Amino acid sequence: KQEVTQIPAALSVPEGENLVLNCSFTDSAIYNLQWFRQDPGKGLTSLLLIQSSQREQTSGRLNASLDKSSGRSTLYIAASQPGDSATYLCAVGRFSGAGSYQLTFGKGTKLSVIP
Amino acid sequence: SQTIHQWPATLVQPVGSPLSLECTVEGTSNPNLYWYRQAAGRGLQLLFYSVGIGQISSEVPQNLSASRPQDRQFILSSKKLLLSDSGFYLCACRLAGGADTQYFGPGTRLTVL
């Protein structure tokens, strides 16, 4: 059974700092990996999607890396801003035996960026 | 582009009462649909998924059930709620023939008292 762990559970940084969020997974047989953002009381917004054959993806100040063999991914946020404050969720994707695409989520890292 | 609607946005129900949460999807056809629950201190837990009308797969045994009466409608139900059913319920969809990702609705906050 796939298990996804995110460390740290919470992180507080001053504005402008660069930061790294970590995600690890137990089964390396994944199809892809996604990072989501969740604001309090809201749904999830996809930030970056990395296919299993890829090593990294970038979008603006965000960069996600994937090392499938070691079961690890990192989300790098450059020059953090107060608007980046949210919970960041890592999810690994696979296809079930019935052919349905499914995601397994970590518990998230709650990020607070202090002005 | 697709839009996912969920209602109600919030719900407070007594233990033992029935439940019906609705999810509808616009802007796509034949999506895969999913129900997740997010409880305090726990990650998102996949409850049900559906690859088509009337086709429901359950991931976790519980007192909840799901139905898909129409292509873009997904309903989560319970006959008798438990305290442990409290949480944030999210509906998601994967587009047919689209990228292998899921899009999420705004969620329903359920409190069982």
Query: Which DSSP string do the residues of A45-64 spell out, in sequence order?
Result: EEEEEEETT-SEEEETTEEE
A19 contact partners, CB below 8 Å, separation of at least 6: A11, A13, A76, A77, A80, A111
pLDDT at B1 (0 to 100):
78
| Choice between B59 and B82, residue whose per-residue pLDDT is larger | B82
CB contacts of B107 in chain A (<8 Å) are 41-43
pLDDT band at A66 (very low <50, low <70, confident <90, very high): very high
Checking if the pLDDT of A35 tops 70, the result is: yes
Give B19→chain A minimum CA distance, Å. 20
* Number of C-beta neighbours around residue A75 at 10 A: 22
Do residues B72 and B78 lie in contact, with contact meaning Cβ atoms separated by under 8 Å?
Answer: no
> Among partner residues A93, A96, A105, which is closest to B44 by beta-carbon distance?
A105
pLDDT at A7 (0 to 100):
94
Checking if the pLDDT of A70 tops 90, the result is: yes
pLDDT at A110 (0 to 100):
97
Give dist(CA B46, CA B86) in Å, integer.
15
pLDDT at B98 (0 to 100):
66
| Choice between A88 and B61, residue whose per-residue pLDDT is larger | A88
Region of B16 (left: φ > 0; alpha: ψ -120 to 50; beta: rest) is: left
Tell me what the mean pLDDT of segment A56-69 comes to: 96
Q: Which two tokens stand for residue A54?
A: 């890829």
3-state secondary structure of B84: helix
How many percent of chain B have pLDDT more than 70?
A: 97
CB contacts of B35 in chain A (<8 Å) are none
> Among partner residues B49, B51, B101, which is closest to A34 by beta-carbon distance?
B101
Best of B44, B88, B95 to substitute, by most chain A Cβ atoms within 10 angstroms, is: B44
| Choice between A101 and A46, residue whose per-residue pLDDT is larger | A46
Is B51 in contact with A98 (Cβ distance < 8 A)? yes
Residues of A contacting chain B (CB within 8 angstroms): 4, 31-32, 34, 36, 41-46, 49, 89, 91, 93, 96, 98-108
CB contacts of B40 in chain A (<8 Å) are none
Q: For residue A28, with 0-12 CB atoms within 10 Å meaning exposed, 13-18 middle and 19 or more buried, which class applies?
A: middle
How many percent of chain B have pLDDT more than 90?
A: 75
Give dist(CA A112, CA B18) in Å, integer.
38
Checking if the pLDDT of A95 tops 90, the result is: no
Checking if the pLDDT of B61 tops 70, the result is: no
Phi first, then psi: give them for residue A49, nearest 5 degrees.
-125, 125
Nearest residue of chain A to residue B91 (CA atoms): A43
pLDDT at B69 (0 to 100):
96
Q: By mean pLDDT, which of B3-7, B34-38, B41-45 is the weakest?
A: B41-45
**CA dist list (Å): B4 to A44, B9, B13, B90:** 12, 13, 24, 10
> Among partner residues A43, A91, A102, which is closest to B107 by beta-carbon distance?
A43
pLDDT at B101 (0 to 100):
83
Checking if the pLDDT of A55 tops 90, the result is: yes
Checking if the pLDDT of B13 tops 70, the result is: yes
* Residues present in chain A in total: 115
pLDDT at B81 (0 to 100):
96
Checking if the pLDDT of B41 tops 90, the result is: no
